[in-house]
Structure 1
Amino acid sequence: MTQTEASANLPEDLLRLRDSIDNIDAAIIHMLAERFRCTQQVGALKAAHRLPPADPGREARQVARLRRLAAEAKLDPDFAEKFLAFVVREVIRHHEAVPRG
């Protein structure tokens, strides 16, 4: 059975919701790509000014901010914090790879 044939047996509401999920996933990927383009520039500036790759004070403020936003959006703040931690680890890894000026 092909995917189209399998989809034909599913409720229309389910298909509509899956389409929305697919669109949201695509938006998330594009937003993450844009975020990483910005953080690459931050990494280059930090390297040029001999600043450390990590900024624990900013990271703590971001965690608090995103936990608050998550709670307001009815999203689990622990999940939001874990997601941010994952993204920040990747950003710092990229920043550490930038040659220091």
Structure 2
Amino acid sequence: MTERTTADTGQDEVDAHAKEELARLRGSIDNIDAAIVHMLAERFKCTQEVGRLKAEFRLPPADPAREREQIERLRLLAENARLDPAFAEKFLNFIIAEVIRHHERIAGV
């Protein structure tokens, strides 16, 4: 059996602190992820209503002018939040593609 040195004990304290800090940060990340999912669900509820209106009035599923405005707006928001605007644009493009897919399905396209 080996004796534990003071240095080993100190490392255990650092490891314990690091584990606690990781757990705290990961808990925050999990909460944020849950909020994102709930916010996306609410967003898609609204876009489903938009899709129904577009179908009712025979409007096209996609609105390129609105999409450009939203991308520009989101890029500016991202810059102000110190988030990579290119990442924000990719994220919004992914959402827009899904919304258009929903609108096409609602319209029977």
* TM-score under structure 1 length normalisation: 0.88
The CA RMSD measured in Å over matched residues stands at: 1.5
* 2:35 aligns with one of 20, 27, 46: 27
1:85-100 counterparts in 2 under 5 A? 85-99=93-107
Unaligned runs of 5+ in 1: 1-7
1:37 counterpart = 2:45: yes
Aligned length in residues:
93
2 CA distance for matches of 1:97 and 1:10? Answer: 49
CA shift digits 1:28-76 (9 cap, x unpaired): 0000000000000000000001100000000000000000000000000
Query: Aligned partners of 1:92 and 1:10: how far apart in 2?
Result: 44
Runs of 4+ in 1 over 2 A off after TM superposition: none
- Which TM-score applies when normalising by structure 2? 0.81
In structure 2, the partner of 1:83 is: 91
Is residue 61 from structure 1 mapped to residue 69 from structure 2 by the alignment?
A: yes
8 Å Cα contact 2:75/2:86 also seen in 1? yes
